[in-house]
Amino acid sequence: MSDQNVAYYAPKFDELNISYFKTEIPIALKNYKDKVQITKQNEVHSWDTSIQPLEEAAESLNRIWSQLEHLNAVANTPDIRATYDELLPIVTNFETEIMQDGDLYKIYLEIYISEDFKSLTDAQQIIITNAIRDFKLCGVDLAPESRSEFKRLAEELSDLENQFSNNLLDATENWDYRVNATQASVLAGLPKLALDIAHQKAKDQNHDGWIFTLDFPSYYAIMSNAKDRELRREFYYAYSTRASDQGPNANRWDNTDIINQILAKRARLAELAGYSNYVAYSLVPKMAKNLEDILQFLHNLIVRAKPKAEQEFKQLQDFATKTDNITQLEAWDIAYYSELFKIQQYEVSEEALRAYFPEPRVLTGLFKLVRTVFGLQIEELSGFQKWHPTVRLFKVLDKHNNLRGYFYTDLYARDGKRSGAWMSECISRMRFSNNLLQHPIAYLNCNFAPPVDNNPGLLTHDDVITLFHEFGHTLHHVLTQVDYYSAAGMNGVAWDAVELPSQFMENWCWQWDVIQDISENIKTGEPLPRAIFEKLLATKNFQSGMALMRQIEFTLFDLRIHAKNGKDQNKTVAQILDSVRSEVSVVPIPEFNRFQNSFGHIFAGGYAAGYYSYLWAEVLSCDAFAIFNKNNVYNNEVGNAFVTQILERGGSKPAMELFKAFAGREPEVDALLEHHAIA
């Protein structure tokens, strides 16, 4: 079915070309500037006369800019990249100018201290309060020379972060491994789907055989299934040295100097704003109040998780020795022997599970779940413009049949699409001054193994968890009932709380009734048998200690390179990473590994000095799901409370207040430890 509402204001992707963005973005910038000038000329300042027009101007700019950002991420052509690179500094510069406008800052302060402020809604009050905070964080109080330096640093940082991302994409796409028919023996152990995808890629490039790439589905198929140890090493070497001074493309797209520049500029920016380091600067708008609290939180996890991780690694080493006489596990052995060990111990294989999780069935079951728990109705739409043939569009209705919003799905890996999985904003909910209500639209992006030979895409259970995770973000964006751009959906939400809805949704992937609804064997049509589910459930905490320690490794590395104090002051990035690994890692890491050069989350993805958010928010998500467990996981009353207290409220109140409103208390770490089976 088609939908007139979304057709009216959704992006017209068939018309989104270079000239469109080069025309429309300057128009949106001018409109924003004009509204700022009008606001400053007003004699009386209030929400309606001053803030509402600026909210509308910000939304208008973001609506167009997000389209270009999205295409740059999922359809990265030379023209799109060049246009994005050209316009990024202009937009960054403008946004910094706005936040350094002293006259505008005084208007927000004037409204904040006025008697009328008390009569504003929660969302309006927090938007003004946060804006005052952000003006200060952007250097509005600085002397003119320092403001100029701050502005220059912000522009240079956005450019460097974009370069980092481009280098990573190029390094990933410009390496492949080609196998001729006469060399097929090297591919022993690989599942049929991985071979079929590689064969199709070879066919598309007129190659007789198979082509494997560093796109994650292709890479992981090799690492977890290939019997040839040297083949696994070659792939690991290429993957772990992307965009660095090592590997098959050494120095070609090296991010090393970019990382150093990013860290230096972030440190200087924080110093200008009056903070001792970038961590202190970054924590101002977050739930965690200081570095010491985070380090204590991590220390408590390390004390509990590391013994479990060490035991898990010893079990894996013993298994590899017994199986293939591997006396020293290397980094390229971990995934392979972990999968073999899991199959032997639990009789469950991620690849074998694919047959039970065709993507259409998984989505149908996911939609049934949110209908049961949250009262949502999700309907697919047709007749819309899309950026790729596999893209789908859905409409979300609530239990009263009211329209809430829409979301696109773009689920498969391909050339020109950056790796990973993410939800991003297409259009935000906004009620305009003429009372017109704009409903939100989200982009839900993944990189699953693509369909082959007209078959549906087949997901592993890990893929299913990823899909549920990103769908949690999607619900957060689409279900918001906040009418103002700066606090709608995830906007204005503390960064260390944005993962709450996404990590919360992952828990449903381990529920028997949900598994019945999302699984369907592609040959028999039968759902996953109970016996296999029990084996799958037994794997839930397989190597959970090792996984948790790896997350802690990433988190400590992020914090230490951005704090750069004490013993780390004179260390290089690589030396700090080695130091962190010596403290927490339980798996071997070869000297050539350059993980940091592809760590896009902190160098290009918004998680700088904030990667701890995944663990911090996991406390919230595990505790929230524990409340469902205590009250029957399909309890509509609890589901409704989660929607109204968390998902609908967006950034209209501090995250801790929203959690306490839902749970009736502050979060407790015990649920996280129980989730990972850690005493």
Contact 341, 315 (CB under 8 A): yes
Active-site residue, 470 included? yes
Angle at 475 between CA 399 and CA 60, to 5 degrees: 110
Name the strand (E) or helix (H) holding 318.
helix 291-324
Residue among 56, 131, 157 at smallest CA distance from 285: 131
Determine which one of 24, 161, 359, 470 is catalytic. 470
Burial 599-622 (b: 16+ CB within 10 A, else e): bbbbbbbebbbbbbbbbbbbbbbb
In eight-state DSSP terms, residue 251 is T
Residue among 395, 390, 382 at smallest CA distance from 409: 390
With tokens 């522009």, the residue in question is 155
User: Going along 134-263, which residue ranges are E strands?
Assistant: 176-180, 209-213
How many residues in the chain? 679
Contacts of 454 (CB under 8 A, 6+ apart): none
Q: Report helix, strand or coil for 526.
A: coil
Burial class (CB in 10 A: 0-12, 13-18, 19+), 535: middle
CB atoms < 10 A from the CB of 588, how many?
Answer: 16
Provide φ and ψ at 404, rounded to 5°. -105, -40
How far is Cα of residue 400 from the mean position of the Cα atoms in its chain? 31
Angle at 252 between CA 248 and CA 254, to 5 degrees: 100
Backbone conformation region of residue 606, classed left if phi is above 0, alpha if psi is from -120 to 50, else beta: left
Residues known to be catalytic = 470
